[in-house]
Amino acid sequence: MNTAIHVLGHQGRMGSLTCAEIAARTDCVYSGDMESADVVIDFTRADATPDLLARAVRLHKPYVCCVTGLDPAPLRATSEIVPVLHAVNTSVSLAVFKRAVADIAASLRPHGYTVAIHDVHHAAKRDAPSGTALALGAAIGGPVSYTSERMGKVVGEHTVTFTGAHETIALRHAVTDRRVFARGALEAAIWLAKQPAGFYGMDDVLF
């Protein structure tokens, strides 16, 4: 049976891309309202999410939140009632990248290596560092320095640099098409619709 997905912010850039991806798939359908949906994807704004989240709880709908700059505490509280997945970046390869840099950091930190994360995004992006940069830093743990650039129409680039006394390792992840995020959000939504109440991330979907 196809998963019915309601997209909050469906007229926005990411919401419209996600709706287009739904139309191209055979394992899910678009639901025009939250009431008839199996799962909800939120591509709105941090100031809109609390009210939308409360409505999802009333309707007992699984909730995929892709909003940046959000306090995760209300999401965690809600996850005791309905399944909630919070992912500021739904790229499948980013989840693998995050695991890789966390493993490298664990190996190099005892040898005195420092860690820096640099993110580059389009000129209209407001938050800096990006939510993805902060998520990478949280996965790495320990002291991390952050720098950011906002220019042109860059979708998203993140470089993690490990610096030792006489050598450097730099790993870079770049997204060139926002459809990557739409496809990842749909994978997350289809997966979440089958889960019990709990707080999840992309790692749970993929690994």
Residue 160 confidence (pLDDT): 99
Give, as one character, the DSSP assignment of residue 196: P
Write the DSSP string, 114-162: EEEEEEEE-TT---SS-HHHHHHHHHH-S--EEEEEE-TT--EEEEEEE
Write the DSSP string, 28-67: EEE-SSSTT-SEEEE-S-TTTHHHHHHHHHHHT--EEE--
> Is 158 annotated in the active site?
no
Q: What angle do CA 72, 78, 79 make, to 5 degrees?
A: 90
Q: What is the mean pLDDT of the chain?
A: 96
Residue in 7, 122, 99, 102 with CA at minimum distance from that of residue 56: 7
Helix (H) or strand (E) holding 16: helix 13-24
Residue in 197, 121, 206 with CA at minimum distance from that of residue 159: 121
**pLDDT tens figures, 59-103:** 999 999 999 888 889 999 999 999 999 998 999 999 999 999 999
> Is 121 annotated in the active site?
yes
**pLDDT tens figures, 124-134:** 998 899 999 99
Residue 70 confidence (pLDDT): 86
What is 3-90+179-206's CATH superfamily? NAD(P)-binding Rossmann-like Domain (3.40.50.720)
**pLDDT tens figures, 107-165:** 999 999 999 999 999 999 988 999 999 999 999 999 999 999 999 999 999 999 999 99
Distance between CA atoms of residues 104 and 167, nearest Å: 14
Tokens of 37: 């949906």
pLDDT of 1 > 90? The answer is no
**Out of 125, 158, 166, 173, which one is annotated catalytic?**
125
Domain ranges of the chain: 3-90+179-206, 92-175
Q: Which fold has domain 92-175?
A: Dihydrodipicolinate Reductase; domain 2 (3.30.360)
Residue in 11, 9, 17 with CA at minimum distance from that of residue 186: 17
**Out of 121, 122, 173, 194, which one is annotated catalytic?**
121
SS3 content of the chain, % helix, strand, coil (to 5): 40, 25, 35
